[in-house]
Structure 1
Amino acid sequence: MTIDLHLHSTASDGTTPPDELMRLAGAAGLRVAALTDHDTTAGWAAAAQALPPGLTLIRGAELSCRWHGEGESIALHMLAYLFDPADPALVAALARVRESRLGRAERMVALMRADGIDVDWADILAHAAGGTIGRPHLAAALIRAGLVADTQEAFGPRWLGTGSPYRLPKEDLDVFGALRLVKAAGGVTVFAHPRASVRGRVVPEELFGHLAAAGLDGLEADHHDHSPAERAEVRRIAAELGLFTTGSSDFHGTHKKVRIGEFTTAPEALDRIVAGATGATPVTGVAG
C-alpha cells in the first residue's frame, strides 16, 4: 500500500487543483493520499468528490505554528489529520492565520513595489484563485515578471528568504495551543519535517518530549528536506518517545521539484492515525 500523507493543492500554495491532485495521486500509484493545505480545509470537498476508484483520502491540514522558547521563537509546521472541520475554535484560529498570511503578503508586495520591483497585488490574488496566500504565490509573481528563474531562487535572501528586506513575519499559532485545538477537534497530529535544517533553525530536542506529553502523535521522518542523518535522528527520537513516524512528498506541484509518492508512510502509522481520530473519517473512491 503506497501512502503519501502530505500533499498541497491550489487551496493553499500548490499549483494543482484538489480534484486534479487526486487524479494525479491515483495515476502515481498511491492507495492513500492526504490533502494537507496550509491552514485551510477548503479543498476537502473537491478532493473527496474526485477520488478515483481505490484511492483513499485522508483529510487534513498543515498548521502554521510557532514555539516560543526562552529568548527565542522558532516557526514550525504541524500536520493535522481527520479533525472536525466545523470545530468552532479551530475554525476561528485557522481563519486568523489565513487573514494574517493575506495581510503579510500584501505588505511584502508593497515593499517590493516601493523598490521598483514589478509585481502586482491584484495579479497575485487572481492567480491564487482564492487559495491561502503564501510566499510561493509571491515567488510565482517574480517568475512571471522574469526576475527569478524558479521558486528556489525566489526563496533566496535577495527576494523572499531569510535575510531579505521583503520577508515579513506572520501570525502563527502557538504550537501547544494548536495541539490542544486539534485534539479537541478529534484530530491526530504529526510534526512536519522537524529536523529540516536546510529550512532554517530547528527546535531543540527536549521540545519533542514536551510536545509528546501535550498530545503530539507522530513525527514526519522521510522528507526531501531531511538528510539521511536527520531522518535517522527523527526515527530515534520517535522511538524514544513512543511516537510513530511518517514519510511524505510534501508535493506542491510546479513550486517544488518533488514527485507525488517520493517518500511514503508505513501502513502501521496510518492505522494509528485512523484509530486515534474521532473528528473525521477516511474517504475512499468507488467505481462509478
Structure 2
Amino acid sequence: MPLYDLHTHSTASDGAYSPSELVRQAAAAGVNVLALTDHDSTAGLDEAETAALEAGIQLIPGVEISVTWADKTIHIVGLRIDRHCNVLKQGLSRLQATRLERAQEIGRRLYRHGVPGTFEAAREMAGEGMITRTHFARHLVELGLAGSMKDVFERFLTRGKPGYVSTRWAEMADAIAWIREAGGGAVLAHPQRYKLTASWMRRLIGEFKECGGEALEVVSGTASPSETQSSAEYARRFELCASSGSDFHSPETAWVKLGRLPPLPSDLTPVWTHWNH
C-alpha cells in the first residue's frame, strides 16, 4: 500500500530542506506520495517535481493557505492544485505581501525591544523564500536569547510578546475558492492545534464544509492518539474525507518525521480515494 505524506514544507517557506532535498528525504523514508504544501507559496513545486521524477515518487502539488477565522489563524491545505491558476496566484501574491509587511514590523518591534538587525538576518536566512517567524526564531536562538525555537515563540513572538504582530490573513471562503478554482481540494489542517472548544470546533468545521472544504487532516505529525481520534469523529460527523500529513518542517523537531504516521481509521474515506494516479 502506498505511503502518503500530504503536508510538508521546504525552504520556499519555513522548512529546513530545499524542495529537492525534501523529496529525497521523503523517498528515503519510504514515502510514495508526497505533497509539498509551503505556506502561501507554490515557488518550490517545479524543483520538487523534478526531484520526484528522479526519486521515483509521486509529487502532489499543494499549498498551505493562511486564513483568519474568528480572530484565529487557521491553515487550509490545498492538494492537487494547478499552480498556474491566475486566481490562486493573485490570492497568494496578496498573502506574500502581507507576510513581508509582517516581517518588517516584527523587525521594527524587536529593534525597539533592544534586538537590532533581526529583519535583515531573517531575510538572509530565508534566501529566495518567504520570510517567516521561524526565521526570526532561528536567529534569536543563534543570538543566545532563547534556548529553543519553542522558547523564542513563547518569549518573543506570541500574542502579548515584544515581536508579536497581529495579522489579517485570507477569508476562509476566499481561500477555499482559490483552491477549487485551481482544480484542487481543500483540507482543514491539524484541527486540534487550534485549541477550540467543541462548540467552536463544530462551527469551524461546519463553515469549512459549507465553503466547499473536502477533508480534515485526521492524522498529523503533531497530533496525539486522542487528538487523532477526536479529528476522526469530526470527519465522520461532518461526512468529510480524511487526510494524513506529517507537517514536516525540520529534522530539529525529532518527533515529527517524514512519513512516520499511523494509518487512517479504516472506516474513513481517504482524500486520495478518487484520485486518478
Q: TM-score, normalised by structure 1?
A: 0.87
CA distance change for structure 1 residues 254 and 143 in 2, over 3 Å: closer, same or farther?
A: farther
* Alpha-carbon shift at residue 228 of structure 1 (Å): 2.4
Q: How far apart, CA to CA, are the structure 1 residues paired with 2:5 and 2:116?
A: 37
Q: Is 1:262 matched with 2:263? A: no
* Alpha-carbon shift at residue 201 of structure 1 (Å): 4.7
State the AA in 2 paired with 1:100.
T
* Alpha-carbon shift at residue 19 of structure 1 (Å): 0.6
Q: Is the 8 A contact 1:97 1:171 kept in 2?
A: no
- Any gaps of 5 or more consecutive residues in structure 1? 276-281, 283-288
Q: SS of the residue aligned with 1:173?
A: coil
* Alpha-carbon shift at residue 263 of structure 1 (Å): 1.9
Q: TM-score, normalised by structure 2?
A: 0.90
Q: How far apart, CA to CA, are the structure 2 residues paired with 1:163 and 1:220?
A: 29
1:58 to 57, 60, 78: 60
Q: How far apart, CA to CA, are the structure 2 residues paired with 1:74 and 1:15?
A: 26
Q: Is 1:142 matched with 2:143? A: no
RMSD: 2.0
Q: Is the 8 A contact 1:67 1:76 kept in 2?
A: yes
Q: SS of the residue aligned with 2:147?
A: coil
The equivalent residue for 2:179 is 182
* Alpha-carbon shift at residue 262 of structure 1 (Å): 2.5
Q: Is 1:106 matched with 2:104? A: yes
The equivalent residue for 2:16 is 15
Deviating more after overlay: 260-269 vs 184-193: 260-269
State the AA in 1 paired with 2:137.
A
The equivalent residue for 2:48 is 47
Q: Is the 8 A contact 1:248 1:262 kept in 2?
A: no
* Alpha-carbon shift at residue 273 of structure 1 (Å): 6.1
- The equivalences for 1:174-253 within 5 A come to 174-197=171-194, 200-201=195-196, 203-253=200-250
Q: SS of the residue aligned with 2:231?
A: helix
The equivalent residue for 1:81 is 79
* Alpha-carbon shift at residue 10 of structure 1 (Å): 0.1
The equivalent residue for 2:157 is 160
* Alpha-carbon shift at residue 270 of structure 1 (Å): 4.6
The equivalent residue for 2:93 is 95
Q: Is the 8 A contact 2:9 2:37 kept in 1?
A: yes
The equivalent residue for 1:36 is 37
CA distance change for structure 1 residues 13 and 265 in 2, over 3 Å: closer, same or farther?
A: farther
Q: How far apart, CA to CA, are the structure 1 residues paired with 2:62 and 2:164?
A: 27
Q: How far apart, CA to CA, are the structure 1 residues paired with 2:221 and 2:34?
A: 17
The equivalent residue for 1:286 is none
State the AA in 2 paired with 1:55.
I
Q: How far apart, CA to CA, are the structure 2 residues paired with 1:168 and 1:123?
A: 18
CA distance change for structure 1 residues 242 and 140 in 2, over 3 Å: closer, same or farther?
A: same
State the AA in 1 paired with 2:103.
A
Q: Is the 8 A contact 2:64 2:78 kept in 1?
A: yes
* Alpha-carbon shift at residue 133 of structure 1 (Å): 1.7
* Alpha-carbon shift at residue 227 of structure 1 (Å): 3.0
Q: How far apart, CA to CA, are the structure 2 residues paired with 1:29 and 1:65?
A: 32
CA distance change for structure 1 residues 119 and 145 in 2, over 3 Å: closer, same or farther?
A: farther
State the AA in 2 paired with 1:60.
G
Number of matched residues?
269
State the AA in 2 paired with 1:136.
T
* Alpha-carbon shift at residue 240 of structure 1 (Å): 1.8
CA distance change for structure 1 residues 273 and 188 in 2, over 3 Å: closer, same or farther?
A: farther
Q: How far apart, CA to CA, are the structure 2 residues paired with 1:49 and 1:264?
A: 28
Q: SS of the residue aligned with 1:98?
A: helix
The equivalent residue for 2:69 is 67
- Any gaps of 5 or more consecutive residues in structure 2? none
What fraction of aligned residue pairs are identical, expressed as a percent? 32
CA distance change for structure 1 residues 201 and 119 in 2, over 3 Å: closer, same or farther?
A: farther
Q: SS of the residue aligned with 1:101?
A: helix
CA distance change for structure 1 residues 206 and 64 in 2, over 3 Å: closer, same or farther?
A: same
The equivalent residue for 2:168 is 171
